[in-house]
Chain A
């Protein structure tokens, strides 16, 4: 992995390299060089399998983190490539021409986070949410509890206990 990292550093300016396990490592790259890096990894380094694309919403930093997890079936190693895009301009370059299943991931991300992938096939069709007209539900400013209470019909009489307090009262009623 060390040799691979050196090559990636000089060619694509990869930073924040982390070796989590012997078979799994992560690195970050600039938004603009992501597609060329992924293409290079697929074509030259043998990372032929796109395992998943996932998104994290860092609302405090005003960023979305997109992680592309690639797998090398010969070396049995994974590499995760993180890239950060701004929450104001949520648009990412599509990789639908590299893997056939990438459009499905991108369609789901488009629906759940509202990140656009221009040119990706069927990206604007609804995937899991049919007829959704609110802000995308996996964004952190979306209040799922409030939405549920407004939309569905909560059954009254539901109460919750703090588990630690509850068990303390049950097991040790004399202690304060």
Chain B
């Protein structure tokens, strides 16, 4: 465990850290030296654990309950974020499917990646995803998240989202209309009810692979390895 921890936190490059996150020595009131390493002291560096399912009947009931209340993080990237407001307005009315928007990652269970992701945005998306509580699901909209779409040869947008975050449902289109997004939500519900939406556990099982992919492109990594 200690070795793993060393492994996972050893890759920080100090030069990208904000001044308040750098290692430093603080002099206490009686002249004693206090070594401060904010990434170790202020953040949790524990490696995340997978959550095992309970017994079958309980898990079936829980999955039904999870599928009926999908709380979506209000996080918009790319042009797909324009498709989300009509989804919630009376014409398409996603509330009848139990879909509601939430303001913070801690309250939500679904993150929608709604279009192309620049490297800068990917960093924020990862932070938001990791701060969400289990069980959590990812819906990816549009061809940009599938294979890069029309930005496939751009220097600053990623090509395949599933190398960085565990995607449960892809909705194809450029952009998908709100009906397609609703259909994507129904697909996600089916997966959750069938017990196949295990993205959060996959992410933790393959954490090293995901982190290596993320760190390959996010060169100014200045946050804890797992943002609890």
CB of B156, distance to nearest CB on chain A (Å): 7
- Proximity bits, A74-109, B CB within 8 Å = 1, else 0: 000000000000000000000000000000000000
Q: Does A172 contact B (CB under 8 A)?
A: no
Once A130-B220, A132-B219 are accepted as A-B contacts, the answer to whether A148 and B159 lie under 8 Å apart by CB is yes
Verify B120–A137 contact, CB threshold 8 A: no
A133 and B219: CB pair below 8 A? yes
Q: Which of A130, A154, A158 is close to B119, meaning CB atoms less than 8 Å apart? A: A130
Identify whether the interface residues of A are mostly helix, strand, loop, or mixed: loop
- Identify the stretch in B4-12, B62-70, B146-154, B182-190 within 8 Å (CB) of chain A at 4 or more residues: B146-154
Question: Chain B interface residue count: which class?
Answer: 20 to 34
| Inter-subunit contact A130/B148 (CB<8 Å) | no
Q: Are B218 and A131 in contact (CB under 8 A)?
A: yes
A155 touches B160 (CB 8 A): yes
Whether A144 touches B16, Cβ cut-off 8 Å, given contacts A131-B219, A155-B148, is no
> Contacts A131-B220, A133-B219 given: A148-B16 contact, CB under 8 Å?
no
* Chain A min CB distance to B145 (Å): 11
Which range holds the interface residue count of chain A?
A: 20 to 34
Residues of B within 8 A of A130 (CB): 119-120, 123, 218-220
In contact, A147 and B155 (Cβ under 8 angstroms): yes
B156 A155 Cβ-Cβ under 8 A: no
- Known: A128-B120, A153-B163, A155-B148. Contact between A148 and B155, CB under 8 A? yes
Contact between chains at B119 and A148 (CB < 8 Å):
no
5 cross-chain pairs, A with B, having the tightest CB-CB distances, nearest first: A131-B220, A131-B219, A155-B147, A145-B153, A152-B159
Q: Which residues of A contact B (CB under 8 A)?
A: 126, 128-133, 137, 142, 144-145, 147-149, 151-155, 158
